Structure 1
Amino acid sequence: MDVLVVGDANPDLVLRGDVRPRFGQAEQLLTGADLVLGGSAAITAAGCARLGLTTALLTAIGDDVFGDITRERLTERGVTLIQPRTATGRPTGLSVILTPPGDDRAILTLPGTIPTLLPEDVTDEHLAATRHLHVASLYLQPQLAAGLAGVFERARARGVGTSLDTNWDPAEKWESFADILAHTDVFLPNANELRAVTGEPDVEVAAAGLVAAGTTVVMKNGAAGARAWWPGGEAGAPGRAVEVVDTTGAGDSFNAGFLAGRLAGLPVIEAIRWAAAAGSLSTRAAGGTAAQATRDELD
């Protein structure tokens, strides 16, 4: 396979309209609701498959209705699902995404099976069968995070590329993962995550510190597009003007665009243009996967 994605997969219930809760048993009317494929890893995997990469997703899903929905959605999108085990007794994770008018949103997540993935679930056989390993939602998976440095070290020893998207830390502790970054080829945060991870308010300074240690930093910056820093260079790429319906999963589609570009042999400066376009185009419909870019659209 081209890409093995490791991490979270779950349904997203996306609610739009008057979504700011008013307690006291007040009933509020919505303008829209969609039950779609969610989880940073799952959306990235779907985006990679949509762009023509042979893609597998290693994830823990429960034996319940939400697990059935997740499996069905991944199969529809051409992603090969690898389950190390069924997390008996735990429900599949679920996220409820509240999207009011404007460009803000709130996310409520039930972790469920998400934290049960272990480092040893990523076997040498899996690494031998892929060109690139991408891991998502680090802070939702503490057991995986504890041994991920070793997983990435094994991957690199086999010539497998590595990339990481931590996503947001719900606890906002932003514990250090310098040992993982030491074996990470590409780090894919957004601007706020880059600041939080490094403790440095200036993204240029934050990125410079990581690049000095050998990691390429590719930063998502919303409608402004993207910026990348790598040993010997830096560049930016604009977002694309689209009619935004929902920004859920845009950063994960961005990841898929970047990985597709790099695995196609593009230099970083061209790959981030693909990434910025893929992230922008994904906002045209509700949920993270319904409007993901095709290869023709990026070309």
Structure 2
Amino acid sequence: MARVVVLGSSNTDMTVHLPRLPAAGETLLGGSFLSGPGGKGANQAVAARRAGSVVVFLSAVGDDRLGHDAIDRYRREDIDVSKVMIVPHVASGVALIFVNDAGENMIGVASGANAHLDPAAIDRLPDSVFDQGGVLLAGLEVRLETVAHAVRRAHRAGLRVILNPAPADLRLLDSEILRFVDILTPNHVEVQALTGRPSRDDDPDSLRLAAEELLARGVGAVVVTNGKAGCLVVSRNASGATCQAIPAFPVEVVDTVGAGDAFNGALATAIAEGRPLDESAVWAAAAAALAVTQAGAQTALADRTAIDRLAATYSHPGHSG
């Protein structure tokens, strides 16, 4: 089986469904409430496991009910949680989420124990975490210096490195870690934040130019996720850069929370299995499409059989230079 090491956050999501997203200072009444497991790292770990990978999760939770419940859930998913830190006297992470009738969302996060996952925690990990090969999938809901430390260690050990720069952190551009990243997976908002280049979700050319700017900083390839418009796969070839647009699978959108995490977990699995990047991105897009058809984050993540079934309906477009 493919092997994916996931470094990232563990939160409890508390979601309120409203007819529309509230404006600043506005209170909206009504809507349903849902509480469940979340955090981009945890979502990606569950997504990769359901997609068929052996998953090792590197994260931190508080020594509280939310933290212990989260670890129990990951164990039930057959995820290796032996390296998850339990931080005493600190609350576990929580995300507060609004979702409107169109499936759009806005999210605020209290990091809690996630902020205590430091570079020293990476140093304490045994070599076996990295020496067994596969893919490191990391996100930025934990400290950047911790991610940088893990990326360097994974690179030295020969793992492929996928970095999901969510939330976008401009300090990435001042560090050297981008040159150790094989695949960077920003969404259309994050790629604009990282490059300062105006880019619109309805303008693939602007997204491609922003992705090429990140390639110039040493990243191996950039996959820009773009919601209902699909994704762009931008990578180097002998004559410069190549770009492939992958349309989204047509589905009925219920809730977009966790779609990007579904994409990243499935992408990491496919890359760990040795599939080409464009084929991996199609498969990941199928996983993301399935995730938006149900409410919640981890509860909506699809298994391998469902991903295979939807991905088989895809017709590959051509590449562009």
- Structure 2 length-normalised TM: 0.83
Following superposition, the deviation at residue 69 of structure 1 comes to 2.5
Matched AA of 1:166: P
The separation in 2 between residues aligned to 1:100 and 1:48, in whole angstroms, is: 27
Residue 66 (structure 2) aligns with? 66
Residue 185 (structure 1) aligned with residue 182 (structure 2): yes
Following superposition, the deviation at residue 113 of structure 1 comes to 0.7
Instruction: Deviation per CA, 1:92-131: give whole Å up to 9, x if none.
Output: 0101111122242221211111111112322333212341
Following superposition, the deviation at residue 27 of structure 1 comes to 8.1
**SS across alignment from 1:148:** helix
Q: Which runs of 5+ in 2 are unaligned?
A: 199-205, 309-321
Mean alpha-carbon deviation: is it higher for 208-217 or for 267-276? Answer: 208-217
Mean alpha-carbon deviation: is it higher for 5-14 or for 95-104? Answer: 95-104
Residue 97 (structure 1) aligned with residue 94 (structure 2): no
The 5 A counterparts of 1:238-253 are 238-253=247-262
Matched AA of 1:203: L
Residue 132 (structure 1) aligned with residue 135 (structure 2): yes
The alpha-carbon distance between structure 1 residues 131 and 218, as it changes in their structure 2 partners (threshold 3 A), is: same
- Structure 1 length-normalised TM: 0.89
Matched AA of 1:281: L
The separation in 2 between residues aligned to 1:27 and 1:237, in whole angstroms, is: 37
The alpha-carbon distance between structure 1 residues 179 and 23, as it changes in their structure 2 partners (threshold 3 A), is: closer
Residue 319 (structure 2) aligns with? none
The separation in 2 between residues aligned to 1:76 and 1:189, in whole angstroms, is: 30
Residue 283 (structure 2) aligns with? 274
Residue 254 (structure 1) aligned with residue 278 (structure 2): no
The alpha-carbon distance between structure 1 residues 87 and 200, as it changes in their structure 2 partners (threshold 3 A), is: same
- 8 A contact 1:187–1:217 mirrored in 2: yes
Residue 209 (structure 1) aligns with? 213
Q: Which runs of 5+ in 1 are unaligned?
A: none
Following superposition, the deviation at residue 209 of structure 1 comes to 2.3
- Taking only the aligned residue pairs, the percentage that are identical comes to 28
Residue 225 (structure 1) aligned with residue 230 (structure 2): yes
- 8 A contact 1:214–1:231 mirrored in 2: no
The separation in 1 between residues aligned to 2:15 and 2:192, in whole angstroms, is: 28
Following superposition, the deviation at residue 35 of structure 1 comes to 1.5
Matched AA of 2:207: V
CA RMSD of aligned residues (A): 2.3
- Equivalent position to 2:171, from 148, 172, 175: 175
Following superposition, the deviation at residue 79 of structure 1 comes to 1.5
The separation in 2 between residues aligned to 1:118 and 1:55, in whole angstroms, is: 21
**SS across alignment from 2:147:** helix
Residue 11 (structure 1) aligns with? 12
- 8 A contact 1:175–1:197 mirrored in 2: no
The alpha-carbon distance between structure 1 residues 216 and 27, as it changes in their structure 2 partners (threshold 3 A), is: closer
Residue 163 (structure 1) aligns with? 162
**SS across alignment from 2:85:** coil
